[in-house]
Amino acid sequence: MFRAILYSQWKWSRLIVVLGTVAAFVLPLVSLQGAARADRSPLEAEALLHAVQSWGTLYPLLATALGLLVAIATWAPDHRGRHIHALTLPLPRWRYVLLRFAAGATVLAGPILGIAVGALIAIAAATLPPGLHGYPVALALRFGLAVLVAYSLFFAVSAGTARTAGLTLGLVAAVIVIQVFASVANLEFSVVDRLQIILVNWPGPLAVFTGRWMLIDV
């Protein structure tokens, strides 16, 4: 059963996975394109770090985009068919959902592997200034975790009905409205800041997306 679901998942999301794998492979190479000389001064090393850090902002964006698009591709055929196919299968709903989730996570191994290979090649081809070190494995592991977190969140939202999506959007709109009214009333209360502390700051579930994404560092 899993092989059949995995095959259908690959058919639905192969374009996303292929493009995402290529982008993940190229991104580390491009970020270190200026690290090919051994005669680099400390100022040039600092400039190199700034360049790598600027490219690093694309890693969480790519991870989020991959998680979102693959999650949408996972449930789009079921929503179009009103889940009739899933109801005809000889297995409980919870197992079908787990198989769908595992199939999507499996195809996402391509971009994760792509960034790992690209980072290793970039570090091997670069001549780093003294004091700087490459962290390709750590970057690949963090990217993989970010992809899986984004995929899990969007998978849960996409698995629901249109009513669930509406409730989610309504909750986001309510947070925005409350924040606007608090600002108009000059209240020292920030819903966004509190949510940021809970969700984004460590040990929040979205903390993996924040901070510096550095292929090389001191």
Q: Grade residue 214 by pLDDT with cuts at 50, 70 and 90.
A: confident
Q: Residue 136: what pLDDT?
A: 92
Residue 66 in any domain: the answer is yes
Residue 8 in any domain: the answer is yes
Residue 28 in any domain: the answer is yes
Measured CA to CA, the distance from residue 91 to residue 100 in angstroms comes to: 13
Q: Which of 4-8, 120-124, 192-196 is the most confident on average?
A: 120-124
Measured CA to CA, the distance from residue 121 to residue 178 in angstroms comes to: 49
Q: Grade residue 82 by pLDDT with cuts at 50, 70 and 90.
A: low
**Least-confidence region, from 8-17, 98-107, 205-214:** 205-214
Residue 31 has pLDDT above 80, yes or no: yes
Kindly report the pTM of this predicted structure. 0.79
Q: Which residue has the tokens 């970010």?
A: 146
Residue 194 in any domain: the answer is no
DSSP state of 55: H
- Tens-digit pLDDT profile for residues 106-138: 999 999 999 999 999 998 887 777 778 889 999
Q: Which residues contact 78 (CB under 8 A, 6 or more apart)?
A: 85, 86
Q: Is 67 within 8 Å of 147 (Cβ atoms)?
A: yes
Q: Is 29 within 8 Å of 123 (Cβ atoms)?
A: no
Residue 157 in any domain: the answer is yes
Q: Residue 42: what pLDDT?
A: 47
Number of domains in the chain: 1
The enclosing H or E element of 217 equals: strand 216-217
Residue among 133, 124, 138, 130 nearest 218 (CA): 133
Q: Residue 73: what pLDDT?
A: 87
Residue among 70, 58, 63 nearest 13 (CA): 70
Q: Residues of 165-191 as b/e, b for ≥16 C-beta within 10 angstroms? A: eeeeeeeeeeeeeebeeeeeeeeeeee
Q: Residue 110: what pLDDT?
A: 95
Average pLDDT, whole number, for the chain?
Answer: 79
* Mean per-residue pLDDT, 31-42: 60
Q: Residue 185: what pLDDT?
A: 61
Structural domain range at position 24:
2-161+209-217
Q: Residue 76: what pLDDT?
A: 73
Cα end-to-end span (Å), the chain: 48
Residue 168 in any domain: the answer is no
Q: Residue 28: what pLDDT?
A: 92
Measured CA to CA, the distance from residue 112 to residue 66 in angstroms comes to: 10
Residue 200 in any domain: the answer is no
